[in-house]
Amino acid sequence: MDAGTSSERPNQRTLTTRCCIVGGGPAGMMLGYLLGRAGVETVVLEKHEDFFRDFRGDTVHPSTLQVMDELGLIDAFLKLPHQQLQKMDGKFGDTSVRIADISRTDAKYPFIAFMPQWDFLNFLREYGKRFTSLKVMMKADATDLIWSGDRVVGVKADTPEGPVEIRADLTIGCDGRHSVVRQCARLEVDEIGAPMDVLWFRAGRHPDENESLFARVDSGKMMVTFDRGDYWQCAYVIAKGQYDAVKARGLDAFRADVTGMAPILKSGMSDVKTWDDVKLLTVAINRLKRWTRPGLLCIGDAAHAMSPVGGVGVNLAVQDAVATANLLAAKLVSGSPSEEELDAVRRRREFPMRMTQAMQIMVQNNIISAALKPGGQPLKAPFFARIVNAVPWLQGITARFIAIGVRPEHVRSPSSAG
């Protein structure tokens, strides 16, 4: 729709708020919590009726645990069911190597917590209820932006009670890699691409099954497994666009490929009964060339889709939210930030985002692409992986990059009793 136009819809309600956040994922819920904590009138729109979606990023890294600690939430947060990973081992062909050891970093919480994303998001929603300035609207599907000239002044959404317009001084797109907000704002996306897609599935786990190995790379094949207590979360990596070819070989052949790489999954693969138990994740790496319009900002996957490499997507989104609150919360208390002030978020977060994507691209080009070539020679561990395995203190450096990241953010936004 053209800027400057607006169409009335039957039974339409209008709400007014200081900030409207579109998307209730990690970026949206964390930012909503932080702005509510700062006393900023904020509405978060989440299009689903709950947060329960399987095969979403479940890794909560030490950088995010540090944020929860700074908010005084860490003790309650770690009471939620989760598993902890400290050492990251990989297997290249027949060679096992240690890739990272988080205990060798200075992280206050030196582990990755594996926690269902819906538990993380529900936790933020429940604790956010203490702030009267924060409203989370479930089953509110954003459909368009509201414009006044070249300025975004709010969002149109569909709800079970009918259409609603949320008029806001600032609209923030946190609605993921398929962002409606960035599409409606006509923000240009720089597509970088990825050589692979991922098949996600669960395999049952017996209590006596233990294995620290999480990544397996062999000629023509790659898989990652995470111990989730009573099941294994598995990511089977395939060459881009090869899902139909994998399906054509049949489910038995797929199960055989999986157990050939990870024999520990043999009994649990009976949980994969049909292809409905296997979810295709299309991998993309991209980023916006600009993150703003007047009255509008995009962060998280809406601004930069990350590869699954390193499992850093959730944590980059949280870091974006913390930086956004640090830079804008005080300004939002009294008014609407200028586009230059909004762009400060990009200037703060673009370097760590680009560095992380560069690491992911390097892994894609030097390890994943080579591994997925059919009919290759027996795979050897890359030289850098062999060096890291041989020199333990290097495992702390790789761990820091993955677990803490480039330029981690700390909570500096104001707190107002709500």
pLDDT at 350 over 90: yes
First-to-last alpha carbon distance for the chain, in angstroms, is 37
Report the 10 Å Cβ neighbour count for 411: 17
At 201, list the tokens: 């599935």
Report whether 385 contacts 99 (CB < 8 A): yes
Band of residue 269 on the pLDDT scale cut at 50, 70, 90? very high
Distance CA 103, CA 400 (A): 10
Nearest to 213 by CA among 370, 368, 381, 98: 98
Determine the 3-state secondary structure of 251 from DSSP: helix
Distance CA 79, CA 62 (A): 16
**What region, left, alpha or beta, does residue 243 occupy, with left being phi > 0 and alpha being psi -120 to 50 degrees?**
alpha
Torsion of CA 147, 31, 53, 181, to 10 degrees: 20
- Tokens 């709400």 -> residue: 15
- pLDDT of 11: 66
Nearest to 184 by CA among 314, 281, 295: 295
Determine the 3-state secondary structure of 229 from DSSP: coil
- pLDDT of 53: 63
Candidate from 110-114, 214-218, 314-318, 391-395 with smallest mean pLDDT: 214-218
Cα distances (angstroms) measured from residue 363 to each of 48, 132, 216: 34, 45, 14
Band of residue 31 on the pLDDT scale cut at 50, 70, 90? very high
| Amino acid identity for residue 361 in this structure | I
Q: State pTM to two decimals.
A: 0.92
Candidate from 20-34, 180-194, 212-226, 295-309 with smallest mean pLDDT: 212-226
Nearest to 200 by CA among 96, 94, 114, 277: 277
Report whether 23 contacts 46 (CB < 8 A): yes
Q: Exposed, middle or buried, 167 (CB in 10 Å: 0-12/13-18/19+)? A: middle
Report whether 296 contacts 185 (CB < 8 A): yes
| Amino acid identity for residue 7 in this structure | S
- Tokens 């292809």 -> residue: 275
| Amino acid identity for residue 277 in this structure | D
Torsion of CA 394, 400, 402, 407, to 10 degrees: -140
For range 26-30, the mean pLDDT: 97
Helix (H) or strand (E) holding 317: helix 313-334
Q: What is the pLDDT of residues 232-247, one digit of tens each?
A: 889 999 988 899 999 9
Distance CA 46, CA 34 (A): 17
Nearest to 84 by CA among 276, 227, 266, 259: 227
- pLDDT of 376: 62
Band of residue 371 on the pLDDT scale cut at 50, 70, 90? confident
- pLDDT of 72: 97
Report whether 289 contacts 188 (CB < 8 A): yes
Determine the 3-state secondary structure of 367 from DSSP: helix
Candidate from 67-81, 173-187, 355-369 with smallest mean pLDDT: 355-369
Sheet holding 221-227, edge to edge: 95-101, 87-92, 213-218, 221-227, 231-239, 196-204, 279-281
Helix (H) or strand (E) holding 182: helix 180-184
Report the 10 Å Cβ neighbour count for 106: 9
Candidate from 21-25, 224-228, 267-271 with smallest mean pLDDT: 224-228
At 96, list the tokens: 């096992």
Band of residue 64 on the pLDDT scale cut at 50, 70, 90? very high
Percent of the chain scoring above 90 in pLDDT: 68
